[in-house]
């Protein structure tokens, strides 16, 4: 009963809103075609699943929790969620916050991720060259927030959703990198305006056509088909990264069925290969753990005491038909 209400509440949060400008949070998406679709085809964006909506919600919860921890630690966060608008580039966004540290200002961006990804991200380059599209968006975000506020130093705080561990990734303002993103903004809007013009003319024809008449209906469909071909000319070229394409919410309108099926099959094989590699890594770790665990417990069994300390560890031994050993860190 409670879960049903909660699920309905999550489903109500799944909404698609019109987008009229470039967004700092997504302009770093590694496919420019996607950036154009965000504005021209926002209403055709594939709706997120309830599970993905929960992940988004969890990210917002984690952000609030980190900000609270920072403030309780005496770190002064000012200008939280401050809007940034770069009119020349039709670019907007909201910065998570700005830290006032001694006499300096630091742009702050907060992210959370699973343990598996958390261990892979240790530097700004790890995000910039990550195979995951949203990681590449993070690098654009912090750089453009720094550019928009004029702050030279930025920090991305990354939290492990599973353990609560936090990493600090520092980055200096790179104006040449920002220029790449800003040039992209200009190119996107040039394409958007051309596509809008085509769509406007098509809609105007539809309004004056008498679609109940066979000839008018056929003429309109022919004009619409020509418009779609014209739009295709203004769209950036498709990329060939299967992982990114298959995680894109516009792939159902971007990729013809035959291309999508072909890429999906290849992506599944690639993804499976990555899982197999990770399985191999974990298997070797499991074997090493098993060997060390046996050595530790054999040494404890030979020890005379059943309750003792060893460095930061508290060890208790229950001796009966079987020997049970509990090992706990003192801070636990």
248, 48 Cβ separation under 8 angstroms: no
Distance CA 190, CA 207 (A): 26
pLDDT score for 279: 75
Distance CA 64, CA 72 (A): 12
Domains and their CATH numbers in the chain: 2-181 (3.90.320.10), 272-329 (no CATH)
pLDDT score for 201: 67
Ranges under pLDDT 70 in the chain: 201-228, 256-273, 284, 331-332
Contacts of 43 (CB under 8 A, 6+ apart): 16, 18
159, 66 Cβ separation under 8 angstroms: yes
Distance CA 317, CA 332 (A): 18
**Residues paired with 315 in a beta bridge:** 308, 327
pLDDT score for 98: 95
**Residues paired with 22 in a beta bridge:** 91
Q: Residues 274-303: pLDDT tens digits?
A: 777 777 777 767 777 777 888 888 888 877
106, 99 Cβ separation under 8 angstroms: yes
Q: Residues 219-263: pLDDT tens digits?
A: 556 666 666 677 888 899 988 787 788 778 898 888 766 555 655
Measured on CA atoms in the order 99, 101, 104, 110, is the torsion positive or negative?
negative
33, 248 Cβ separation under 8 angstroms: no
């Amino acid at each position: 009963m409670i879960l049903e209400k909660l699920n309905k509440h999550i489903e109500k949060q799944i909404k698609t809103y019109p987008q009229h400008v470039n967004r700092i949070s997504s302009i770093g998406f590694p496919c420019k075609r996607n950036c154009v679709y965000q504005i021209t085809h926002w209403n055709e964006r594939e709706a997120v699943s309830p599970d993905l909506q929960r992940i988004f919600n969890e990210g917002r919860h984690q952000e609030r929790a980190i900000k609270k921890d920072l403030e309780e630690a005496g770190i002064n966060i000012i200008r939280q969620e401050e809007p940034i608008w770069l009119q020349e580039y039709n670019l907007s966004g909201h910065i998570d916050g700005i830290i006032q540290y001694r006499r300096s200002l630091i742009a702050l961006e907060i992210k959370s991720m699973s343990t598996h990804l958390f261990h892979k991200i240790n530097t700004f380059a790890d995000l910039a060259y990550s195979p995951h599209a949203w990681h590449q968006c993070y690098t654009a975000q912090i750089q453009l927030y720094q550019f928009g506020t004029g702050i030279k130093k930025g920090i991305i705080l990354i939290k492990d959703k599973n353990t609560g561990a936090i990493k600090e990734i520092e980055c200096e303002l790179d104006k040449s990198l920002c220029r790449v993103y800003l040039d992209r903004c200009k190119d996107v809007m040039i394409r958007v305006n051309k596509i809008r013009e085509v769509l406007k003319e098509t809609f105007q024809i539809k309004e004056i056509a008498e679609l109940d008449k066979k000839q008018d209906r056929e003429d309109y469909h022919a004009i619409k088909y020509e418009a779609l071909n014209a739009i295709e000319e203004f769209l950036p070229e498709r990329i060939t990264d299967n992982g990114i394409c298959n995680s894109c919410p516009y792939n159902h309108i971007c990729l013809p069925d035959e291309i999508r099926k072909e890429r999906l099959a290849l992506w599944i094989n690639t993804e499976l290969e990555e899982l197999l590699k990770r399985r191999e890594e974990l298997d070797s770790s499991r074997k090493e753990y098993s060997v060390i665990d046996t050595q530790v417990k054999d040494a404890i069994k030979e020890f005379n005491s059943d309750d003792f300390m060893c460095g930061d560890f508290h060890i208790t031994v229950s001796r009966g038909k079987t020997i049970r050993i509990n090992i706990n860190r003192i801070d636990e």
